[in-house]
């Protein structure tokens, strides 16, 4: 044929490549040869545009064709099915050549006279052999294409014929099939990435050892179970491609997963194949690297700007006192002491900031965390009612207590007329909103975006800044969502995978 194998493969259309892939999947699913033969035939028939045909195997004595799959199309064939199909005529030519052959004027050839009475009229025919161990062991035949068969049709038929030959080879070589199956399973089982197949209802029908390791469950706890129950993800990706999701694993671990989704047909059923890579550690490393950069940026700023400014204040007032020849005045003393306290506060922030991202994550109970936060309060809160309207846990670390402490402390310091502080949580799509709120004076609209900046406010301006930075290490965020004059409401956005009920 004029076109080379390489040129032909490069010219495959997406539909042709997809048809070859689908036929290949029938083999990978280890379906019986008759099923594979049907799938291969139908894929080839559709691509070429033939109307009818069959798949046949050579009899043990090599004298006849034995039908495996027959597609008569819309034609009425009156040939007795019990009649033999001897190897002669055009079929014999194909068997002898070992290559795909076609005839576009079959009605006017000598081969027509070899057909039995009642056979469908064949305007054109094409056969491709099924080669096994170097010999033609069967045929894949097509007939009555609208228009003529072409060399390209023949090359496409040979590719489909190879798939059918492979299935035939597998059916003839059971022992080698088992060995091949074992090798394939070893590859899948030995894969680093978890692999799982699910049916249309989301039920698990196959998984490898990496999936067992990821979930830490037995086969009986996974097979037939819903993937959504096993892998509580923020969402289950449906579209083919690669997706990133957050998931809560059965033993309580929170995981960042990279999920590759593909769709296929297995046992006649539509299934999804998920290849799952746990990227929790790599994402944590990336966050840690970003946090290191952020720490260096912050500490550089503190050292270069704030601390040096306060040192200059102390130095300036000491020089003024020295130049005046008078003892240090009360006013100078207060300004120097204030500058020193500011420096101490900045270094305290530095120590706290250095602990970000160093503790192991765990489930933190909100009610218990609020209790611990209250115990840390330096300011008297005996006259304030605490309303705990939440029973849940977040995937964080012990620093979450500091988040609640700073939010409560902020209400006590700046709320002016706070009589109660509350905490509640609601589910909102793919996240949970945790609100820490009070009935104080609230936050002016103009300040809502600035209050989480370092140095903002009347005092050190560190508390809310630290809240934002701590939550960022958990993949959470915070905003002020209250109404000025009606109270502050600090809203923490928590991904679904980082939340569970107590």
- C-alpha atoms less than 13 angstroms from C-alpha of 231 in its C-beta half-sphere: 28
Q: Tens digit of pLDDT per residue, the chain (502 long)?
A: 445 667 776 777 888 888 887 877 777 777 788 888 888 898 889 989 999 989 988 888 888 888 888 888 888 777 776 777 888 889 899 999 989 999 999 888 888 888 887 788 888 999 999 988 888 888 999 999 999 999 888 888 888 888 887 777 777 665 555 666 667 666 666 678 888 888 888 898 888 888 888 888 888 888 888 888 888 776 777 888 888 888 878 887 778 888 888 888 876 788 888 888 888 777 767 766 776 666 666 555 555 555 656 666 666 767 776 666 667 667 767 777 776 766 665 565 566 666 666 667 788 999 998 888 887 775 666 778 888 888 889 988 888 888 888 898 888 888 888 899 999 999 887 789 999 999 999 999 988 888 888 777 655 557 788 888 888 878 889 999 998 989 999 999 998 778 888 7
Query: Sign of torsion, CA 316 318 322 324?
Result: positive
The CATH number of domain 360-502 is 3.40.630.30: no
Domain boundaries 191-278, corresponding CATH code: 3.30.450.20
Query: For residues 383, 389, 391 and 395, what is the CA-based torsion angle, rounded to 10 degrees?
Result: -80
Tens digit of pLDDT for each residue in 155-207? Answer: 888 888 888 877 777 776 655 556 666 676 666 666 788 888 888 888 988 88
C-alpha pair distances (Å), 84 with each of 53, 56, 63, 77, 81? 17, 12, 9, 15, 8
CA dist 442 → 410, 437, 449, 478 (Å): 11, 9, 14, 16
State the Cα–Cα distance between residues 415 and 132, nearest whole angstrom.
Answer: 85
pLDDT single digits (tens) 296-350: 665 555 555 556 566 666 667 677 766 666 676 677 677 777 767 666 655 655 6
Helix runs in 204-266, H state only? 209-215, 219-222, 227-230
Whether 5-177 and 360-502 share one fold: the answer is: no
The neighbouring-strand residues paired with 129 are 139
CATH 3.30.450.40 fits 5-177, yes or no: yes
Q: Are 493 and 433 in contact (CB under 8 A)?
A: yes
Tens digit of pLDDT for each residue in 390-406? 888 998 888 888 888 88
Give the start-to-end residue ranges of the domains of the chain: 5-177, 191-278, 280-354, 360-502
């Amino acid at each position: 044929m004029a076109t080379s194998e390489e040129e032909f493969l490069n010219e495959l259309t997406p539909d042709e490549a997809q048809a070859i892939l689908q036929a290949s999947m029938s083999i990978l699913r280890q379906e019986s040869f008759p099923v594979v033969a049907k799938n291969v035939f139908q894929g080839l028939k559709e691509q070429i545009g033939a109307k009818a045909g069959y798949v046949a195997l050579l009899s043990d004595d090599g004298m006849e064709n034995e039908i495996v799959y027959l597609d008569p199309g819309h034609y009425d064939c009156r040939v007795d099915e019990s009649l033999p199909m001897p190897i002669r005529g055009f079929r014999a030519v194909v068997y002898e050549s070992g290559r795909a052959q076609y005839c576009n004027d079959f009605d006017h050839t000598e081969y027509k006279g070899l057909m039995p009475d009642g056979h469908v009229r064949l305007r054109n025919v094409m056969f491709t052999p099924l080669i096994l161990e170097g010999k033609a062991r069967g045929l894949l035949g097509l007939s009555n294409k609208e228009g003529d068969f072409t060399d390209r049709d023949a090359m496409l038929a040979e590719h489909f014929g190879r798939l059918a030959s492979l299935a035939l080879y597998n059916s003839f070589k059971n022992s080698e099939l088992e060995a091949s199956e074992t090798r394939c399973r070893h590859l899948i089982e030995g894969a680093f990435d978890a692999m799982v197949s699910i049916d249309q209802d989301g039920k698990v029908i196959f998984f490898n050892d990496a999936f067992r390791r990821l979930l830490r469950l037995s086969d009986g706890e996974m097979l037939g179970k819903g993937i959504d129950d096993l892998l509580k993800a923020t969402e289950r990706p449906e579209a083919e491609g690669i997706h990133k999701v957050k998931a809560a694993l059965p033993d309580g671990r929170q995981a960042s997963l990279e999920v590759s989704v593909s769709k296929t047909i297995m046992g006649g059923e539509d299934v999804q194949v998920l290849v799952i890579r746990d990227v929790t550690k790599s994402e944590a490393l990336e966050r840690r690297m970003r946090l290191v950069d952020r720490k260096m940026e912050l500490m550089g700023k503190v050292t270069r700007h704030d601390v040096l400014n306060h040192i200059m204040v102390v130095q300036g007032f000491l020089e003024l006192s020295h130049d005046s020849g008078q003892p240090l005045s009360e006013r100078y003393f207060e300004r120097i002491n204030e500058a020193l306290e500011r420096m101490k506060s900045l270094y305290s922030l530095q120590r706290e900031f250095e602990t970000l991202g160093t503790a192991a994550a765990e489930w933190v109970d909100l009610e218990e965390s609020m209790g611990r936060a209250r115990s840390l309060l330096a300011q008297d809160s005996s006259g304030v009612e605490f309303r705990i309207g939440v029973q849940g846990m977040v995937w964080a670390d012990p620093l979450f207590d500091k988040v609640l402490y700073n939010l409560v402390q902020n209400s006590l310091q700046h709320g002016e007329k706070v009589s109660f502080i509350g905490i509640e949580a609601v589910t909102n799509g793919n996240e949970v909103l945790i609100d820490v709120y009070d009935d104080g004076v609230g936050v002016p609209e103009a300040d809502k975006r600035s209050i989480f900046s370092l140095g903002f406010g009347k005092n050190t301006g560190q508390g809310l800044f630290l809240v934002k930075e701590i939550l960022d290490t958990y993949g959470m965020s915070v905003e002020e969502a209250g109404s000025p004059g009606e109270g502050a409401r600090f809203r923490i956005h928590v991904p679904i995978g980082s939340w569970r009920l107590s």
